[in-house]
Chain A
Amino acid sequence: AQTVTQSQPEMSVQEAETVTLSCTYDTSESDYYLFWYKQPPSRQMILVIRQEAYKQQNATENRFSVNFQKAAKSFSLKISDSQLGDAAMYFCAYRSPSNSGYALNFGKGTSLLVTP
């Protein structure tokens, strides 16, 4: 099974600054999908950004962007101009196209604290 590793249990950033959350994964597949999900305290998980492995261009969604390094199996999330509302748990997830289930395989998460 593919493993997803988030090596930063906690991160802190000041409002308006930039922060990068790390994610590495282990796979032997060449085609797959990668996601970053945000889970605010006591609120439901929402999709932040996704990347298809066959696309070389890094995905961007407003203040959120990724640095996808396929050879290194690395998928980091950059949050620019951090806002107080960005404080949450962030989960990196892998989705295989070859499994019949297509379920998400999550990392353990990084808790992001945003300070004024």
Chain B
Amino acid sequence: EAGVAQSPRYKIIEKRQSVAFWCNPISGHATLYWYQQILGQGPKLLIQFQNNGVVDDSQLPKDRFSAERLKGVDSTLKIQPAKLEDSAVYLCASSLDSSGANYEQYFGPGTRLTVT
């Protein structure tokens, strides 16, 4: 079974530029999560999708971050414009469902973003 795929793996941009990250979850997984992991910290949830609907985006900085999951499969996370403090690893995770026994989240390799 293929795992969660993310691209690119690394990205370096200047502040005020835009960037987009892509995630392809495990086939059949209804729930998709985007986490931000700043160096030295644990991951923090940015947004969660159930199929193509947003379940929780309370910690997403909506003035600069946006995310979508068209057709309930792949997802993109965009930052526009980027700030220095956005430097982090952006992790995508998916799970079969968000409730009950199917709650294990599978993580992708992450995208390491450096903003200069």
Show the binding face of A for B, using Cβ within 8 Å. Answer: 4, 33, 37, 43-47, 50, 91, 93, 95, 97, 99-109
Question: Is A101 a contact partner of B44 (Cβ separation < 8 A)?
Answer: no
User: Nearest Cβ distance between residue B33 and chain A, in whole angstroms?
Assistant: 6
Asked whether, in the complex, the Cβ of A33 is within 8 Å of the Cβ of B103, the reply is yes
Closest to B95 in A: A102
Chain A neighbourhood of B44, CB < 8 A: 106
Q: Once the chains bind, are A102 and B41 in contact (CB under 8 Å)?
A: no
Chain B contact residues, majority secondary structure = loop
Whether A101 pairs with B107 at a CB distance below 8 angstroms is: no
- B94 interface contact, C-beta 8 A: no
Whether B42 contacts A91 by the Cβ 8 Å rule is: yes
Q: Is B104 in contact with A106, judged by CB distance below 8 angstroms? A: no
> Which 3 residue pairs across A and B have the least CB separation, nearest first?
A106-B42, A101-B56, A45-B107
Tell me which residues across on chain B come within 8 A of A97, comparing CB atoms: 99
Q: Do the beta carbons of A44 and B103 come within 8 Å of each other?
A: no
Shortest Cβ distance from A89 into B: residue: B42
With A43-B109, A44-B108, A101-B55 as known contacts, state yes or no: A106 contacts B43, CB within 8 Å: yes
Set of chain B residues within 8 Å of A93, measured between Cβ atoms: 42
- Complex Cα distance A68/B70, Å? 40
Of B3, B98, B108, most buried by chain A (CB within 10 Å of CB) is: B98
Flag whether B105 is at the interface (Cβ < 8 A). Answer: yes
Contact residues in B for A50 (Cβ distance below 8 Å): 104
> Which residues from chain B contact A4 at a C-beta distance below 8 Å?
42
Question: When chains A and B are docked, how far (Å) is the Cα of A9 from the Cα of B45?
Answer: 21
A99 near B107: Cβ-Cβ < 8 Å? no
Q: A105 — which chain B residues lie within 8 A by C-beta?
A: 45
- Find chain A residues with CB under 8 A from B4 CB: 44
Take A45-B91, A46-B107 as given contacts and tell me if A99 and B43 are in contact as well, using a CB distance cutoff of 8 Å. Answer: no
Task: Report yes or no: A101 in contact with B108, Cβ–Cβ below 8 A.
Answer: no
